[in-house]
C-alpha cells in the first residue's frame, strides 16, 4: 500500500476515534457511580474485548517485549487524565474542563520538540494555533470565569498534561507494538490505578440499575475500545503532535452529541468554532511530510 493511502487511512481512523470519544462526556454525565469509579469501570469493562483483540493480533502474551514499559507509563498517564478531568467537570464547568484539557496538543508539540527533537514547519504551528482558537470559540458561550472555578480549571490543566503524556506514550509504544497490544496493557495499568483511587476516595462503585450498567458498557466499548483503539492504530502512521491536533475533533463531536442527545445549545458560535478547528487540523495536515511515520513492521500492520 502506498504511503499516501496509509496516511489517509490513519487520518480517517484518528478522526473516527475522536468522534467516538466525543460520546464520553455524555456517558460520564449520565452515569450514577462516583467520578473515579466511572473511569475505573470504563477501563475494566474494556479489558475482555481488548484481550481478545490482542490475542488475535499477536497470537500470545509477551510481557518481556520491548516497549511494554511505555505501555504501562501511558496507562498511568491515562488514569491521571481521567481522574483530573472528571474532577474538573465537577469543580468547574463542562466547557472549562473540556477546553483546558484540549490544550494537550500544545504540550505534545512542545514535548516532542524538547524530548525527541521533532521539528515543525511554520504552517504546522499556525494550524495548532488555529485549532485551539476554534476550540475557544466553540466553548466560549459556556465558559465560566472566576475564582470559584479556579480549582477546577487547574485540575483541567493537570488533566491536559496527563493526556499529553498518554499521547506521547502511545505514540512511542506503537513503534514496537500492535494497536490492541498497546490498548490492552495501557488499559490494564489504568484500571489498577483507578481501582485503588476509587476505593481510597470512597466512591459509589456500583450502578443502581441496569441502565447505569449499560451506560458504563457503552462508555467502555464505544469511547474506549472503539475510539481509543482507532486512535492507537493511527498513531503508528502519524506524528504524536499531529495526532494531538487531530483529536480536537473530539470537543466538536461532543458539542454536536450534547445538542442532539441532551438538547444543549448549538448555534452559529459553535458552528464557527467547529469550522475553525477543522481548518486548523487541515492546515496541520498540509504542513506534514507526505510519508507516514516509520513504525515497526508488526506494529504498522496491526
Over residues 27-37, the pLDDT tens digits come to: 888 888 998 99
| Number of continuous H segments (helices) and E segments (strands) in the chain | 16, 0
> What does the pLDDT read at residue 198?
94
pLDDT at 163 over 60: yes
152: cell is: 477546577
Give the residue, 136 or 194, on which the prediction is more confident. Answer: 194
* pLDDT above 50 for 298: no
pTM, to two decimals: 0.80
Mean pLDDT computed over every residue of the chain: 81
How confident is the model at residue 271, as a pLDDT?
83
Helix or strand (DSSP H, E) at 28: helix 24-30
Per-residue pLDDT at 49: 95
Q: What is the DSSP string of 78-139?
A: HHHHHHHHHHHHHHS-HHHHHHHHTTHHHHHHHHHHHHH-----HHHHHHHHHHHHHHHHHH
Using alpha carbons, list the distances in angstroms from residue 98 to 12, 40, 88, 146, 163: 23, 20, 9, 17, 12
Of the candidates 48, 44, 50, 27, the one whose C-alpha atom is nearest the C-alpha of residue 196 is: 44
Find the range with the poorest average confidence among 63-72, 109-118, 204-213, 272-281. 63-72
What lies within 8 Å, CB to CB, of 57 at 6+ separation is 178, 179, 180, 181, 302
The distance of Cα 152 from the centroid of its chain, to the nearest Å, equals: 19
pLDDT digits (tens, 9 = 90+) for 175-228: 778 888 889 999 999 999 999 999 999 999 999 999 999 999 999 999 999 999
What pLDDT is stored for residue 297 in this prediction? 43
Q: What is the largest CA-CA distance in the chain?
A: 54
The pLDDT score that the predictor gives to residue 37 is: 94
Q: Which of 285, 224, 277 is nearest to 248 (CA)?
A: 277
Residue pLDDT, tens place only, 5-61:
777 788 889 889 888 888 887 888 888 899 899 999 999 999 999 999 999 887 777
pLDDT at position 232 over 60: yes
Read off the pLDDT of residues 240-268 as tens digits, 9 standing for 90 and up: 777 778 877 877 777 777 777 767 666 77
Domain count, the chain: 1
Domain that holds residue 23: 3-301
pLDDT of res. 144: 59
Residue pointed to by grid coordinates 489498577:
192
Amino acid at each position: 500500500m502506498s504511503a499516501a493511502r496509509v496516511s489517509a487511512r490513519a487520518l480517517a481512523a484518528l478522526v473516527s476515534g475522536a468522534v467516538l470519544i466525543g460520546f464520553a462526556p455524555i456517558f460520564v454525565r449520565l452515569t450514577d457511580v462516583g467520578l473515579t469509579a466511572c473511569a475505573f469501570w470504563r477501563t475494566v469493562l474494556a479489558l475482555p474485548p481488548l484481550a481478545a483483540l490482542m490475542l488475535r493480533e499477536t497470537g500470545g502474551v509477551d510481557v518481556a517485549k520491548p516497549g511494554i514499559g511505555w505501555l504501562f507509563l501511558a496507562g498511568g498517564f491515562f488514569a491521571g487524565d481521567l481522574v483530573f478531568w472528571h474532577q474538573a467537570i465537577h469543580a468547574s464547568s463542562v466547557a472549562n474542563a473540556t477546553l483546558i484539557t484540549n490544550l494537550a496538543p500544545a504540550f505534545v508539540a512542545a514535548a516532542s520538540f524538547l524530548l525527541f527533537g521533532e521539528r515543525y514547519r511554520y504552517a504546522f504551528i499556525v494550524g495548532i494555533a488555529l485549532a485551539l482558537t476554534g476550540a475557544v470559540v466553540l466553548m466560549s458561550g459556556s465558559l465560566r470565569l472566576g475564582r470559584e472555578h479556579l480549582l477546577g480549571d487547574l485540575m483541567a490543566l493537570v488533566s491536559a498534561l496527563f493526556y499529553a503524556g498518554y499521547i506521547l506514550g502511545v505514540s512511542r509504544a506503537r513503534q514496537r507494538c500492535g494497536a490492541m497490544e498497546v490498548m490492552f496493557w495501557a488499559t490494564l495499568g489504568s484500571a489498577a490505578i483507578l481501582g485503588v483511587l476509587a476505593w481510597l476516595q470512597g466512591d459509589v462503585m456500583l450502578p443502581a440499575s441496569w441502565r447505569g450498567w449499560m451506560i458504563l458498557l457503552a462508555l467502555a466499548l464505544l469511547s474506549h475500545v472503539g475510539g481509543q483503539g482507532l486512535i492507537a492504530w493511527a498513531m503508528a502512521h502519524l506524528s504524536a503532535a499531529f495526532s494531538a491536533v487531530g483529536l480536537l475533533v473530539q470537543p466538536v463531536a461532543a458539542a454536536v452529541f450534547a445538542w442532539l442527545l441532551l438538547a444543549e445549545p448549538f448555534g452559529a458560535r459553535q458552528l464557527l468554532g467547529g469550522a475553525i478547528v477543522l481548518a486548523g487540523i487541515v492546515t496541520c495536515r498540509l504542513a506534514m511530510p507526505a510519508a507516514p511515520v516509520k513504525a515497526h513492521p508488526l506494529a504498522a500492520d496491526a
